Structure 1
Amino acid sequence: MSNKVTEKTEDLVQPILDELNLELVDVEFEKEGPNWFLRVFVDKTGGVDIEECGQVSEKLSEKLDAEDPVTFPYFLEVSSPGAERPLKKKKDFESNVGNNIFIKLYEPLHGSKEFEGILKSFENEVAKLEIKIKARKKEIELPYEKIAKARLAVTFN
């Protein structure tokens, strides 16, 4: 059910985002305690503000009421993905070359399932990551199909 709701929400929200020149980052439909939350994460170059999130929420809410993909009470939240934005699509990797990212794999590779480092390149569906092992820098290659989750990673100097 969760996949159908997120897919339907993506279909409904995309024309709204196109009109407002915003990008869809992710849609989640999750139960937390007794409540269900439909979360839509949007962004644009330079970031989104509260007014833009409000516009998307209002327009999407009308469409959701008309289409009614969820037959029980839930909370709709539209927000920015924040500093640790998820990287879901191949183009997310391509546009974040040079940034510090965190990657979690489906299965261990290079002796681990989790890596954090600078994304050096993303070509031929392979993420090349520069990681630090103690004081040494090392480049590793992680195939896109083995990546379970990825996000930008905030670093503190």
Structure 2
Amino acid sequence: MANIEKRVTELVEEKLAELPEVFLVDVKMHANGNLIILLDGDKGAGIDACAQVSRYVGFQLEEENVIDTPYNLEVSSPGIDTPLKLNRQYVKNIGRSVGLKLADGTKKEGKLTAVDADKITITEQIKIKGKKAEEAETVIPFDQITETKVLISFK
């Protein structure tokens, strides 16, 4: 499985050299035969980019006979419930509300305001009993974050 994922990653990177606005988020080969490629972009990964990568990778995999069992190739952008993985995804989501799970088991929510190579900054609403909620900036190193998801509000 790891060799398949490694080769698919190489193939995707080859194709993405032609599509600099799009980047690879993840490649997973599941035991059930589903090969999942997740792409994102600074302005999203459109269906055209996904189709180009799918055609290229699918053709190369068949030519090289990399996978000798039946498989299903799926190329898409990460869903809204998919946690952020790459620094570039964090940068893309500056200004949006995020939910964080931290290594110590705590959870935080706030507006993502800044991203660095090794940390993020969020603006939290701190509620104090009997008083109006106050905003506070919190800096969180990436090594303390176990999961970050963009929060969607329907207000």
> When the two structures are superposed, what TM-score results if normalisation uses the length of structure 2?
0.76
Aligned to 1:6: 5
- Unaligned 5+ segments in structure 2 are 128-132
Deviation at 1:124, TM superposition (A): 5.6
1:152 pairs, out of 146, 150, 153, with 150
Deviation at 1:5, TM superposition (A): 3.2
Contact 1:39 1:78 in 2 (8 A): yes
Percent identity over paired residues = 32
- Cα deviation per residue 1:110-152 (whole Å; 9 max; x = unaligned)? xx1x322211222361212222344443332221112222232
Deviation at 1:77, TM superposition (A): 0.4
CA distance in 2, matches of 1:55, 1:38: 16
Aligned to 1:91: 88
1:79 pairs, out of 76, 80, 86, with 76
SS at match of 1:97: coil
Find the structure with the greater CA-based Rg: 2
Contact 2:42 2:92 in 1 (8 A): no
Aligned to 2:120: 127
Corresponding residue pairs, total: 149
Of stretches 10-19 and 86-95 in structure 1, the one that deviates more from structure 2 is: 86-95
CA distance in 2, matches of 1:147, 1:66: 41
Contact 1:25 1:86 in 2 (8 A): no
Question: Which portions of structure 1, spanning 4 or more consecutive aligned residues, are displaced by more than 6 angstroms?
Answer: none
Superposed, 1:3-152 pairs within 5 Å as 3-21=2-20, 22-31=22-31, 35-84=32-81, 86-108=83-105, 112=106, 114-123=107-116, 125-134=118-127, 135-152=133-150
- Cα deviation per residue 1:73-99 (whole Å; 9 max; x = unaligned)? 221101122445642222332343222
SS at match of 1:92: helix
RMSD: 2.6
The structure with the largest strand share of the pair is 1
Contact 2:87 2:117 in 1 (8 A): no
CA distance in 1, matches of 2:73, 2:5: 12
Deviation at 1:49, TM superposition (A): 3.2
Q: Which amino acid aligns with 2:11?
A: L
